[in-house]
Every structure is written in C-alpha cells, then in structure tokens.
Chains A and B, each alone.
Chain A
C-alpha cells in the first residue's frame, strides 16, 4: 500500500505546471500585415497616424538567454530612421500577452507620434514563440529578447539617457526586470501601462486565499519587487475599470513599492484592460507620454 501511495504521489507530483500554458501567443502567421491586419485589435488609428513605409524596418535579431547554447531568431519592428538612432530618443515597447506584433501595431504607431510624428523612434519586438519569432515562449527568453533589442539599439548608437522603456500588461515584466537589473542598456525612464504586480497576486486575486505562486507555476515574475530596485522616473497608467488586472491589487502594489526619484500615476476612469489610450483620447495620451519623456 505504501509503495502504491508513494508511486501515486511521485507520478502526480512531478507533472503539470502552468508555465507553458500562460502564454497567449499566436505563431501561425506567415507574415506581418501591420496596417492591413484585420484581426482583433484594441483600436485602429485613422490615416492621420500613418507611418511612411520607409520608416518601418522589420528586423531579425539573435536572442540568447543565460544558459542557452545557441541563439533564437526573433523579429522586431523599428519605426523611425535607423540611421538616426545615434541621436534620437527611442521608446522600447514591450507588448502584452496577445498574439503578436500585428495586434500591437496600432499602439506602436501611436507611440511614434509622441511629441510629433516620428519625433522618437519606436522599437517593438515579438518575444520568442510570438508571431514570426522562433522558439517557445518563456520568462527568461522574454527578458533575453528585450535585451537583444537593447543590444541592437546600443549597436546603432543609442545611449542610456535616450532610451525609454514602455511595458504593457505582460510586457511590464520585461520593463521592470531590465530596468532593475543588469542588461545591455539601462533605460532612462519607465512607463508601465496596466502592470501586474506578480504571479502571486494573480493567483491570490483569483483564489481569494493567501496561496503561494509556486503551487502552480515556476514563473518568477515579480514586478512589485523588481520596481524597488529602480530609480528611473516612473509613469504608471492604468484603467480603473481594468477587468483583467485589478489596478488596486496589481498596479498600485507596483507603484507603491517604487521608491525612486520621481513617480506619476494616471488612472483612467472607465478604461478596461487595453483601453487606456482610446479612453484617454489619443491626443491626450500622446501629450501625457510626451510630457513625461520631456521631464528633466
């Protein structure tokens, strides 16, 4: 009987973890369609936000996480003049958990209008396993992919003081991690839209109990802890009607734990997850981001 029980525990006890099921990626596409994309999107900009094709560059970058023996090819899109990166300010946009860059194209395009059309460069990437990026999604890989983008920006002449990192939803994990810890570059400012605090909060919100995250996952994402190490100015945006990530239990925990030199919070009435720019109004949103970037 004891042997049976032991076998039962070992067999089950070493089985499932949620890690591989938490990614909502789509890697079935054959090409990026950008403006021609007809799938689900949070919003679609009008023609006044059009970006000339000559200012859109699709990149293939090698990404290698610690402990990996070879690199993984990921895709990124740079909006702006690559030859001017050595003098431009660049927004590094870390997108959320949905699908691939086509879903986030309108957001990246919008950011390319901060303080004027194509005033700043915008770099967005598909993490491994998303869109046309190769490999499988994973936490370490995601950080490596954003690091690879930083390395590319650095190679093209960008300095730390002209790098702004912008994380949305799941992308806030990379934004916090790479602003807090050693990476090819250290962003000068951090913008977090609808951040989540940690996997533990996600689980505890769901269960209503003080349940440890490692009951279900080996993910270590903990923005509320990582943000404590950051000194760069922080802008936190969150919809007060975010029905996915509670702005109180998630965003507020991150914001509260930030003890750096400057922080600013903008809570948007009536905005659900992904609706901050549209609910604010695109021009108000751009004005806010622009003003934050210009702050000394």
Chain B
C-alpha cells in the first residue's frame, strides 16, 4: 500500500505536464463565454486494476470571433503543490462545414512558477490539432486530435543534454452537448513513443511507452 502511495505521488510529478486537460475543440460563438472543470488523468495499476489519477483544472474561454476563441486555465493540482501553473491560448478554426465537420488548431503557453519559494519560472509552448465530426448533424460531436508539449531548454539537471524536446500526445473524445451544459469525455495516449521505463512510476502505457489517460470535463456556456 505504501509503495502504491509512493507511485501515486510520483504520478503527480509526471503528469504536471501530462495533466493537459481536455481542451476546447470547437470555437465558441462571438461573445460567448464558457467555464470548465476538468477531472481525470493517466491510468495506473492499483491493486491490479487500472484507475485514473484525478487531476483537476479550472478553465475559462471566450469567443473573440466566430472563428477564434481565447482561453485560460488554472491547474489546481499543481496549485496544491505550491505551483502556479496556467495555460493561456487560442483556438482557431481552420475549416468548418456547419454542423458537420471541422478542423481547429490551438497554440498555447503553459507557465509554471513556484509561489512558495518564488523560484523556477518555466514556459512550455503547446500545440493542439483537432478534427471534429457531428454524426447525424446533431450538436454533440466526436473528435480526434494530437497535442504536443515543447521543451525549449537544451539542458536539464547537472547540465546534461535535454533528451526530448517534443512530447507528443494523441487523443479522441466525445462532446455531449446539452443546451447550456456540455460533457466532454476524452481518452489520451500521453508521451507517445517515449519509453516509460526506467522510471519510478508503474503506469499503463503501450509496450512500456507513454501512458493512457482518461478525462472528463464539465462545461457551462454563458
């Protein structure tokens, strides 16, 4: 049990970068606002069964135009550890067939700062690409996409070279759209192709690479 706790704790370390929550896939209407709470995380083996580690994020988005939505989020799990981690980005519609199909891109900046020690300011750019599809032209839709974090630093601890500058993830999801509320369900494959061994974490990947994660977002539009 203690070992499991140890492992769980380290999952928090890993997935500060992988806790990238479900993000906007479709732009909001101009002037429309939305608030979201995201819950979910990577899967680990717990007593032989896979369970997700719960991460939470609070987000807010605003439709700047009908094709561009700005958003910002606060990573509350990071905050528990005394780190102010935020995401600020924009979602751009690249192509849209009304209520049928669309492509979007979403560049963002992740920042983190240790507010306890007032040290360790870091910036990581991220990029999301998504394709969504409305089956039967209903408001709810399915989507697939890819996302990547970019590590800009050339060195890591002890001046050793930084091995990975691109940390790719892929995802697929379903957005259940109600009148004001939306429910977003997403599965991710985090750290695509990156070996997860050696490591202090026993999480569920594919052939000892990456980690699978499941996420849920509750979104309220205003």
Contact = CB atoms under 8 A, between A and B. Distances in A.
Interface string A156-179: 000000000000000000000000
B80 A215 contact: no
Given A9-B115, A15-B80, A216-B81, A210 B167 contact: no
B114 A215 contact: yes
Interface residues of A, number: 44
Contact residue range for chain B?
35 or more
B103 interface: no
B77 to A, nearest CB: 9
Contacts of B14: 206-207
Interface string B142-177: 000000010101011110101110010000000000
Interface string B109-145: 0001011110110101000000000000000000000
A18 B5 CA distance: 11
Interface of A: 8-9, 12-18, 21-22, 24-26, 197-198, 200-216, 224-225, 242-247, 249, 253, 257
A214 B122 contact: no
A60 to B, nearest CB: 25
B158 A224 contact: yes
B79 A9 contact: yes
Interface string B10-47: 10111011000000000000000000000000000000
A203 B12 CA distance: 10
Given A24-B6, A204-B156, A244-B198, A209 B17 contact: yes
Interface in B31-72: none
Nearest to A224: B158
Contacts of A16: 80-82
A211 B114 contact: no
Given A21-B6, A26-B2, A224-B157, 8 more contacts: A9-B84, A12-B76, A14-B116, A24-B3, A197-B157, A201-B158, A206-B199, A210-B151
Contact of A197 (B84, B155, B158, B164): B158
Given A13-B84, A206-B200, A257-B158, A212 B79 contact: no
Contacts of B199: 205-206, 243-244, 246
Contacts of A26: 2
B218 interface: no
Nearest to A245: B198
B66 to A, nearest CB: 29
Nearest to A97: B6
Contacts of A13: 79, 82, 84, 115-116
